[in-house]
A and B are shown apart, each in its own frame.
Chain A
Amino acid sequence: MIIQSKDITKPVRESADVCIIGSGCGGGASAKILSESGKKVIVLEEGGYFTPKDFQPTEEFAYTNLYRQRAGQATDNLAVTVLQGKCVGGSSTINWTTSLRTPEFVLENWARDFKVQGLSLKDLDPYFNRIEDYLNIHAEPDENHNAQNRLILDGARKLGYRAKANGRNTKDCANLGACGLGCPIGAKLSVDITYIPDAVKAGATIFSGFRAESIEVKGGRKEVLGTVIDQATQKPKFGFTIEAPIVILSASAIFSPLLLLKSKLANSSGQVGKHLTFHLTSALLGLFDNPMYPSRGIPQSALCDEFINKNGDSGGFWMEAVPATPTLASLALPGFGATHRALMHQYQNMGATIVLVKEIDSEGSVTVNDNGRPSISYSVGPRDMQYLKQGIKTTAEVQFAAGAKEILTLHARTTSFKSVDEITRVLSRADWGTNEIALYSAHPLGTCRMGEDPRSSVVDSRCQAHDVKGLFVIDGSVTPTSLGVNPQITILAIAEKSAAWIAENFDQIVR
């Protein structure tokens, strides 16, 4: 059953075996596994509930209804825009479908440096296989790549770099290009149309428009307290209380630590909210003689992974395409006024490529501000900055190899190259400080990190808080390091594995 806040007419008090906060990859997968195991499950989702036929493929609709802060969520200094979903299905509802397994070297790092147990590639292999089957993850045939993905494949291969089609979680995709706006034909097998309906079929109740504000632990029982939010006005309607012996926080790497900090729980290590990673992203906009139609076709179907962990330091960067819808393109372009508007006139001839850095020495955090909302800070480390610069330079070379005539970076002060020869000289003069280059994240991770040492981690290898029995964090916050890949498959696999363990050990956990 899915209950929306518009149908709520009085304060809500319910109880369940398991209360899950958040309905994205972590919450959705946990809800399915636990409800199918016979547990009474309640899922709380702050955002609204939409079916594919509700989605209108416009930025206006999507940003207003499906994204956090109208796609404007950012670090406190606005240096990094942090894109997250806020709807049933979470960020899976608005992501660009790229579906990749966790790299083996990352899992090895977790085992070596954080003593994480049971998450080797061999351990996760059955989960990856099952998820890939369930979500129909497949690489697109060559003819399905749009011009921007073709750019990566052709440009990288010309320069001898490894580039390939990536997996996507779609079925009967019509190549509409609307993945980031909510797929209007239900072809994207996101959590809202896979795990959540299966969880509901098995008896789970989903409350949408329910914002969890705090968790109280009373002996073996826990209460999740919060506010029912009117989706039209975003104003509070009523309070709610959900009582359950097991609470799973799946509210993302921004909101899970926020709830723990507000609730003063699970933080004896002092690590809650720390070690935020972003999969730091910037982009290049190439101008081509021919139309590139940057918002048409499959948004992300190919990538270049030549430069990830190439030096064996687990850092590096890679390249993916990005659907440059008009607003995203306008915000990325440098400058303002007449110059900016003239660039927008070349919109359809732009080819956008993003550079994503797998961080090794950047450091971010989430704390609670005076209004009880998240305060996000982030500082780019020197080695990651070097990888970002190298990534921008290399991506420019790839774009030129694919036929770009001029390439713009996302620096506030217009920075462009008209030939390969200009790249190094121009970049050496560019400004790299806060708000001098536009930076993004669609993959915030790591603020409640996993490990076996309670002094340096928040949850154990099964995602249970070291400090509070029966309190779990199952989402992107548990990754001990940056992943270097789009995270949805990693989160789903960790969620399926942890939820299965909870189901098997329920009585022991709640005893």
Chain B
Amino acid sequence: MSARVPPDVAKQLRFFSPHEYLIMQAVAERIVGAPTSGTPSASDIGVALRADVFLSTADPEIQDQFHQLLTVFNAPLFTFLFDFRFSSFINMKSEDQDSYLEDWMTSIVGFRRTGFQALKRTSLSMFYTEPRSWKEIGFDGMDTR
């Protein structure tokens, strides 16, 4: 694993371990989609850090399940067992990450589809609740007359 969590971010983490933070960040980048010119990425919005804050106050069983999900989703043993891939998710190339996510989304195994939904909901809700994501979709906030 080549990526490192910046020390100032690591200090802020309440729920994720630094390693989990990197997995969440990588997942969010692929689920939100690559930015086009002038639009923010998931990292620009701080999706993983926002998810960390949210999950730190979630019910205990949700916290436990999310920790387990990130472990299973990323671990080379499981990527091999599920998809005959020999790499952890965070070390895959972008196109392989997308293909791996697609496999989870459409898997015949129910818990993988459930896991994908958890990752998708966390990533997108942390991205689109942040006002900096609105400009590119033409949304300028709710009417506040």
- Extra inter-chain contacts (8) besides given A330-B128, A435-B113, CB under 8 Å: A77-B114, A78-B121, A175-B143, A178-B143, A296-B143, A326-B128, A335-B105, A344-B137
Q: CB-CB < 8 A to A178: which residues of B?
A: 142-143
Complex Cα–Cα for A358 and B41 (A): 41
Whether A330 lies near B30 (C-beta < 8 A) is no
Q: Which residue of A lies closest to B120 (CB)?
A: A336
Q: Is A337 within 8 A of B61, CB to CB?
A: no
Is A428 located at the chain interface by the 8 A CB criterion? no
CB distance from B60 to the nearest CB of A (A): 5
CA distance A487 to B122 in the complex (A): 29
* Among listed A7-15, A43-51, A53-61, interface-contacting one: A53-61
Q: Mark B50-70, 1 if CB is under 8 A from A, else 0.
A: 000010011111100000000
Q: Which 5 A-B pairs have the closest CB atoms?
A: A341-B33, A435-B113, A57-B142, A347-B137, A60-B129
Report yes or no: A331 in contact with B59, Cβ–Cβ below 8 A: no
Contact A234 B142 (CB under 8 A): no
Asked whether, in the complex, the Cβ of B144 is within 8 Å of the Cβ of A369, the reply is no
Any chain B CB within 8 A of the CB of A295? yes
The answer on a CB contact under 8 Å between A327 and B113 is: no
* Those of B94-141 within 8 Å (CB) of chain A: 98, 101, 105-106, 110-111, 113-114, 116-118, 120-121, 124-125, 127-131, 133-134, 136-139, 141
Give the tally of cross-chain contacts (CB within 8 A): 133
Q: 12 pairs across A/B with beta carbons < 8 Å?
A: A58-B142, A174-B145, A181-B142, A184-B144, A326-B133, A331-B120, A337-B30, A337-B33, A340-B33, A341-B34, A345-B136, A412-B117
Report if A373-B61 is in contact (Cβ < 8 Å); known contacts: A330-B124, A435-B110.
Answer: yes
* B61 and A338 within 8 A (CB): no
Closest to B50 in A: A60
| Beta-carbon contact of B145 and A177 below 8 Å | no
Task: Please give the residue numbers on chain B whose beta carbons come within 8 Å of chain A beta carbons, in ascending order.
Answer: 30-34, 54, 57-62, 98, 101, 105-106, 110-111, 113-114, 116-118, 120-121, 124-125, 127-131, 133-134, 136-139, 141-145
Does the CB pair B134–A326 fall under 8 Å?
A: yes
Q: How far is the CB of A330 from chain B (nearest CB, A)?
A: 4
The reply to whether B59 and A371 contact each other, CB–CB distance below 8 Å, is yes
- Say yes or no: A345 contacts B143, CB within 8 Å: no
Which chain B residues border A435 with CB–CB below 8 Å? 110, 113-114, 116-117
How far apart are the CA atoms of A59 and B131 in the complex, in Å?
A: 10
Question: A434 at interface (Cβ–Cβ under 8 A)?
Answer: yes
Q: Does A326 lie within 8 Å of B139, measured CB to CB? A: yes
Across the interface, name the chain B residue whose C-beta is closest to A57: B142
Answer whether A69 and B59 are a contact pair too, CB < 8 Å, given A57-B142, A337-B98.
yes
Residues of A within 8 A of B128 (CB): 59, 326-327, 329-330, 344
Which residues on B sit within 8 Å (CB–CB) of A16? none
- Closest chain-A Cβ to B46's Cβ sits at a distance in Å of 13
Instruction: Tell which of A72, A77, A329, A339 touches B121, judged by Cβ atoms closer than 8 Å.
Output: A72
Residue A348 lies at the interface, judged by CB distance under 8 Å to chain B: yes
Least Cβ–Cβ distance between A318 and chain B, in angstroms: 26
Q: Once bound together, how far apart are the Cα atoms of A63 and B136, in whole Å?
A: 22
Q: Which residues of B contact A505 (CB under 8 A)?
A: none
Chain A: CB-nearest residue to B129: A60
The 8 Å CB contact of A58, one of B61, B129, B138, is: B129
Q: Decide: A412 near B105, CB < 8 A? Known: A295-B142, A348-B137, A369-B61.
A: yes
Residue A310 lies at the interface, judged by CB distance under 8 Å to chain B: no
Shortest CB–CB separation between residue B67 and chain A, in angstroms? 14
